[in-house]
Amino acid sequence: MIDFNGADAFPRRTALKAGLAAGLTGLLLPAISGCTAEERPDTVTVAGGEPGGFYLEFAGLLAESLQRHGGAGQATALTTGGSLDNLELLLSGKATFAVALSDSAAQRVAAGDATTVGISAVGKVYENYVHCVVRKESGIRNIAGLASRTVAVGEPGSGTSLTTPRLIEAAGLTSAAVGAGSEASSPGTVTVLNLGLNEGLAALQNGSVDALFWSGGVPTAAIAAAHSDAGLSLLDLSPLLPALRAKHGLFYDRVLIPEGAYPGIPAVWTVGVANLLLCRSDADSRTVKKTVEILVGHAEELVPRSSLGVQFLSPESLINTPGLPLHPAAAAAYRELHG
């Protein structure tokens, strides 16, 4: 029997893309019936992320699957800045679903007030890998080497822009924005620029920043392309986990970016953050139920072709949504599908 209280009641079960279809065979259900035209919403929107990143790829695949299997008359993915933007789009009613990092979602819930509609989880869908990317010839070998350097930390509205300052602090360094004066030149200070994935990679390649932080799937297509052009390296962030978890909670895991994810870059340990599919607490129950059925019954449609990373597309993993309760219709659907 599955525990639906939102806590990690089961050990994490992961599946790589190569084995996903086989791993889910025993969980697939008889053919899932589509909603009738009267039952399904006319339009569903899924708030995704930046071009070249996993968020937007996943959102696009989910939108296609919802439309294909009768979950919506029309479903589209939204290009956004990332987790924090997605949460605001969700709460304002401009998005039906949103993908967001679990630490970002928990912070937004904690910042809510009595007038704010609640946020619920539909499922934990995949692992985000925090990348700290440097040029291979930079000589930077660990995060301590970022002291007195300039780094791109994600654009405002992204989950990366929340996670990165926490990582810098866990390393015993301080952050200062460009133009902060003498503080920015102090030993142990990292000068930060709010640049997203594509702008940050361009700045890394032209030397205007020394490192880029990015939280996404493995491999991230834009990073793979930049590595092919310029030659990049990844820093091991896993030593930061004890300090990170002690201050901010158990949202963070030690995960491995495998050798071969980016050609020529050896395997490297880093920090992982679960990515959640979210809806408003007042979301239409039939739409939420249909989405759960797609997550379970059509999981193979939801993994981007380039992905080598960890997927959580099985019921006992989907229900483990750290910090957020499942939407009641999602919990009911998982019970019905898995017992």
Report how far residue 93's alpha carbon sits from residue 45's, in angstroms, rounded to the nearest whole number.
Answer: 10
| Unique residue bearing structure tokens 């695949």 | 61
Classify domain 129-273 by CATH number: 3.40.190.10
Average confidence (pLDDT) over 104-130: 85
Average confidence (pLDDT) over 109-136: 87
What are residue 44's DSSP bridge partners?
Answer: 75
Which backbone phi and psi does 132 adopt, to 5 degrees?
A: -115, 105
**Which pTM value belongs to this model?**
0.82
Over pLDDT 70: what percentage of the chain?
84
pLDDT score, position 62: 97
Q: Which is it for strands 211-216 and 119-135: parallel, antiparallel or unpaired?
A: antiparallel
Model confidence at 32: pLDDT above 70: no
Task: Give the chain's mean pLDDT.
Answer: 85
Residue 179's pLDDT band, with cuts at 50, 70 and 90, is low
CB 167, CB 131: distance < 8 Å: no
Over pLDDT 90: what percentage of the chain?
69
Q: Which amino acid is at 106?
A: A
- Residue from 70, 316, 336 nearest 328 by CA: 336
Report how far residue 335's alpha carbon sits from residue 88's, in angstroms, rounded to the nearest whole number.
Answer: 30
Average confidence (pLDDT) over 178-205: 82
Report how far residue 189's alpha carbon sits from residue 148's, in angstroms, rounded to the nearest whole number.
Answer: 5
CB 86, CB 256: distance < 8 Å: no
Model confidence at 66: pLDDT above 70: yes
Report how far residue 278's alpha carbon sits from residue 256's, in angstroms, rounded to the nearest whole number.
Answer: 26
Structure-model confidence comparison of residues 191 and 183, the more confident one: 191
Average confidence (pLDDT) over 3-21: 34
Q: Which CATH fold topology does 17-127+274-338 show?
A: D-Maltodextrin-Binding Protein; domain 2 (3.40.190)
User: Domain residue spans in the chain?
Assistant: 17-127+274-338, 129-273
Report how far residue 262's alpha carbon sits from residue 279's, in angstroms, rounded to the nearest whole number.
Answer: 33
Q: Which is it for strands 252-257 and 268-280: parallel, antiparallel or unpaired?
A: antiparallel
Model confidence at 18: pLDDT above 60: no
Report how far residue 63's alpha carbon sits from residue 118's, in angstroms, rounded to the nearest whole number.
Answer: 23
Radius of gyration of the chain (CA): 20
Average confidence (pLDDT) over 228-235: 94
In CATH terms, are 17-127+274-338 and 129-273 the same topology? yes
Other beta carbons less than 10 A from residue 231's beta carbon: 13
Residue 4's pLDDT band, with cuts at 50, 70 and 90, is very low
Residue 309's pLDDT band, with cuts at 50, 70 and 90, is confident
pLDDT score, position 168: 96
Residue 227's pLDDT band, with cuts at 50, 70 and 90, is very high
